[in-house]
Amino acid sequence: MTARPLITIENLGYQYALADTLALDNINLTIHEGEYIAVVGAAGAGKTSLCLSLNGIIPHMMMGGMVGRVLVDGQNTEETQVRELARVVGFVFDNPEFQLSQMTVMEEVALGLENVGVPRDEMLERIDEALAVVGLRGFEHRSPMALSGGQQQRLAIASALAMYPRVLVLDEPTSNLDPIGKEEVFAVTTRLNRERGMTVVIVEHEVEVIAAYADRIIVMDGGKIVLAGAPAEVFSQVGVLEKVGVRVPQVTELAYQLERRGFAFGDYPVTLEQALQLLPEVSHG
Residue 168 has a CB neighbour count (10 Å cut-off) of: 24
pLDDT digits (tens, 9 = 90+) for 38-94: 999 999 999 999 999 999 999 999 999 999 999 999 999 999 999 889 889 999 888
Question: What are the residues facing 200 on neighbouring strands?
Answer: 36, 168
CB neighbour class for 173 (10 Å; exposed up to 12, middle 13-18, buried from 19) = buried
| Arithmetic mean of pLDDT over the chain | 90
Of 62-66, 145-149, 270-274, give the lowest mean pLDDT range.
270-274
Contacts of 256 (CB under 8 A, 6+ apart): 238, 248, 268
Tell if the pTM clears 0.85, that is, is over it.
Answer: yes
Contacts of 75 (CB under 8 A, 6+ apart): 84, 85, 88
State how far the Cα of 31 lies from the Cα of 204, in Å rounded to an integer.
17
State how far the Cα of 51 lies from the Cα of 89, in Å rounded to an integer.
10
Instruction: Give, in order, the Cα–Cα distances in Å from 256 to each of 25, 86, 206, 269, 281.
Output: 31, 42, 19, 9, 15
So what's the pLDDT on residue 233? 94
Contacts of 15 (CB under 8 A, 6+ apart): 21, 22, 23, 64, 65
So what's the pLDDT on residue 1? 46
Percent of the chain with pLDDT over 70: 95
87: part of which helix (H) or strand (E)? none
Residue 245 has pLDDT above 80, yes or no: yes
Chain CA centroid to CA 71, Å:
18
Percent of the chain with pLDDT over 90: 64
Residue 173 has pLDDT above 80, yes or no: yes
State how far the Cα of 276 lies from the Cα of 283, in Å rounded to an integer.
14
Residue 174 has pLDDT above 80, yes or no: yes
Residue 25 has pLDDT above 70, yes or no: yes
State how far the Cα of 154 lies from the Cα of 185, in Å rounded to an integer.
6
Per-residue pLDDT averaged across 12-21, rounded? 96
Residue 284 has pLDDT above 60, yes or no: no
Q: How confident is the model at residue 265 (pLDDT cuts 50, 70, 90)?
A: low
The phi, psi pair for 169, rounded to 5°, reads -105, 125
Residue 269 has pLDDT above 90, yes or no: no
Per-residue pLDDT averaged across 182-188, rounded? 87
State how far the Cα of 31 lies from the Cα of 171, in Å rounded to an integer.
16
Per-residue pLDDT averaged across 185-196, rounded? 89
Per-residue pLDDT averaged across 208-219, rounded? 94
So what's the pLDDT on residue 122? 94
Contact 98, 108 (CB under 8 A): no
So what's the pLDDT on residue 279? 63
1: amino acid identity, one letter: M
Say what angle helices 149-161 and 105-115 make with each other, to 10 degrees: 30
